[in-house]
């Protein structure tokens, strides 16, 4: 039996715990007042940030979704926030951790959350969602689990984080954009002042231009970068997206227009087929927004996109059950 959350302006949910492979996970379950959907939503950790998300985005999102009559679970996976468990090494860099998350390290945690939600929140069907690293967990777990009907992801990374730390490995779209920015700065006196006062990041500038030139020459010579870039691309996750689409699961992808992950993702769109109108997911971009959507206006667009997508999905589910 789940008690309704406290009546505050921003419902914080009820603290809950459940187990994953011997570790106790802590979460917050938001239970709607009044009629409740048989669909529940689970938000996946974005990375080493706890279940509230960057600037409490998950709390604000949960409040919007719960208002639709949908129970929402936010939880901390192993090694993050309040939950037990730790990475099984003495030290781990944030890049290694992100890399592991991008390869599905938290899928067992997601599966435990799905089972917990179905067991205790009175729901049969599940929608998974999340920001940044959360999409990787949501896509791998959601593509495989039969109870998952839909997945919505915000700022999903398709390139492994370790690769995006090396300028020379950045995708073409980002190299082009950075090179363009540097060219525009040639006309700004303040940029020259920085250049001559040693404030410029010379190494990055040099790497951006040499990468841009090398790639242009490589393309002119007909060189194929596919094998080289594939090692940096999360191909298993792209496969899982396609699998989820084939299984009829509803998918929503949201990106900030200024998020470099959006540029990376655009570059991989051909992997989903040649017809942009037949992508296996709905795609929403929020103009000018950054990766974690720090402005309220950007957050409002996100909330609107997710609630519209979800409402349509709930209606389809009801029609199917009828």
Partner 1 sequence: MFAPTLVNGREEAIRIASDSGDLYGMLHHPSAAARGAVLLCPADGEERAWCLRTYVELARTLADSGWWVLRFDYAGQGESAGLYEESSIETRVHDIALALAALRAQSGDPAPAIVAARLGAALALEAAARDPRIVRVALLEPVLDGSAYARNLLRINLTMQMVMYEKVMRNGEQLLEDLAAGGRVSANGYNLTRQFLDGLEALRPAERLKAFQGRALVIATAATRVPESPADVRRPAFAPFWREPKADMTPPKLVIAETVSWLDAAPTQENARMS
Buried b (16+ CB within 10 A) or exposed e, 301-319: bbbebbbebbeebbeebee
Residues in the chain: 322
Dihedral in degrees, nearest 10, Cα atoms 321, 38, 60, 305: -10
To the nearest whole angstrom, how small is the minimum distance from the Cβ of residue 80 to partner 1?
7
- Report the C-alpha gap between 140 and 114 in whole angstroms: 13
Q: Sign of the C-alpha dihedral, residues 254, 264, 256, 141?
A: positive
- Report the C-alpha gap between 66 and 63 in whole angstroms: 5
Nearer Cβ to partner 1 (60/249): 60
To the nearest whole angstrom, how small is the minimum distance from the Cβ of residue 7 to partner 1?
9
Tokens of 107: 């899928």
Q: Name 159's bridge partners.
A: 233
- Report the C-alpha gap between 266 and 260 in whole angstroms: 10
- Report the C-alpha gap between 240 and 21 in whole angstroms: 24
Q: Which residues bind partner 1 (CB under 8 A)?
A: 6, 8-10, 12, 15, 21-24, 26, 28, 48-50, 52, 54-57, 78-82, 84-88, 90-94, 97, 100, 105, 181, 184, 258, 288, 290, 292-296
To the nearest whole angstrom, how small is the minimum distance from the Cβ of residue 258 to partner 1?
5
The count of other CB atoms within 10 Å of the CB of residue 233 is 19
To the nearest whole angstrom, how small is the minimum distance from the Cβ of residue 88 to partner 1?
4
Nearer Cβ to partner 1 (224/296): 296
Nearer Cβ to partner 1 (131/156): 131
Nearer Cβ to partner 1 (93/168): 93
Nearer Cβ to partner 1 (184/214): 184
63 near 30, Cβ under 8 Å? yes
To the nearest whole angstrom, how small is the minimum distance from the Cβ of residue 93 to partner 1?
5
Buried b (16+ CB within 10 A) or exposed e, 188-209: eeebeeeeeeeebeeeebebbe
| First-residue to last-residue Cα distance in the chain | 27
To the nearest whole angstrom, how small is the minimum distance from the Cβ of residue 185 to partner 1?
9
To the nearest whole angstrom, how small is the minimum distance from the Cβ of residue 81 to partner 1?
6
- Report the C-alpha gap between 222 and 225 in whole angstroms: 10
To the nearest whole angstrom, how small is the minimum distance from the Cβ of residue 48 to partner 1?
6
- Report the C-alpha gap between 308 and 3 in whole angstroms: 28
Nearer Cβ to partner 1 (91/226): 91
Nearer Cβ to partner 1 (193/312): 193
Nearer Cβ to partner 1 (84/282): 84
């Amino acid at each position: 039996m789940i008690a309704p959350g406290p009546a505050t302006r921003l419902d914080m949910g009820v603290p809950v715990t459940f187990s994953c492979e011997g570790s106790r996970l802590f979460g917050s379950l938001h239970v709607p007042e009044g009629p409740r959907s048989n669909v529940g939503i689970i938000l996946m950790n974005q990375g080493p940030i706890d279940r509230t998300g960057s600037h409490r985005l998950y709390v604000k999102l949960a409040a919007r979704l719960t208002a639709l009559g949908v129970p929402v679970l936010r939880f901390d996976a192993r090694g993050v926030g309040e939950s037990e468990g730790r990475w099984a090494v003495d030290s781990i860099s944030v890049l290694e951790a992100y890399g592991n998350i991008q390869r599905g390290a938290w899928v067992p945690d997601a599966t435990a959350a799905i089972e917990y939600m179905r067991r205790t929140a009175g729901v049969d069907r599940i929608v998974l969602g999340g920001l940044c690293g959360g999409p990787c967990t949501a896509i791998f777990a959601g593509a495989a689990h039969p109870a998952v009907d839909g997945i919505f992801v915000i700022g999903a990374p398709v390139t492994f984080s370790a690769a995006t730390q090396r300028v020379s490995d950045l995708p073409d779209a980002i190299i082009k954009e950075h090179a363009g920015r540097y060219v525009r700065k040639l006309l700004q006196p303040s940029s020259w002042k920085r250049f001559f006062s040693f404030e410029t990041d010379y190494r990055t500038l040099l790497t951006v231009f040499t990468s841009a030139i090398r790639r242009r020459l490589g393309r002119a010579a007909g060189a194929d970068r596919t094998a080289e870039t594939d090692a940096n691309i999360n191909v298993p996750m792209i496969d899982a997206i396609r699998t989820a689409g084939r299984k009829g699961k509803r998918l929503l992808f949201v990106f900030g227009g200024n998020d470099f992950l959006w540029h990376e993702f655009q570059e991989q769109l051909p992997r989903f087929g040649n017809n942009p109108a037949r992508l296996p997911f709905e795609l929403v971009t929020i103009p000018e927004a950054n990766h974690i959507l720090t402005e309220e206006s950007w957050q409002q667009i996100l909330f609107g996109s997710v609630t519209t997508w979800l409402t349509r999905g709930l209606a389809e589910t009801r029609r199917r059950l009828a």
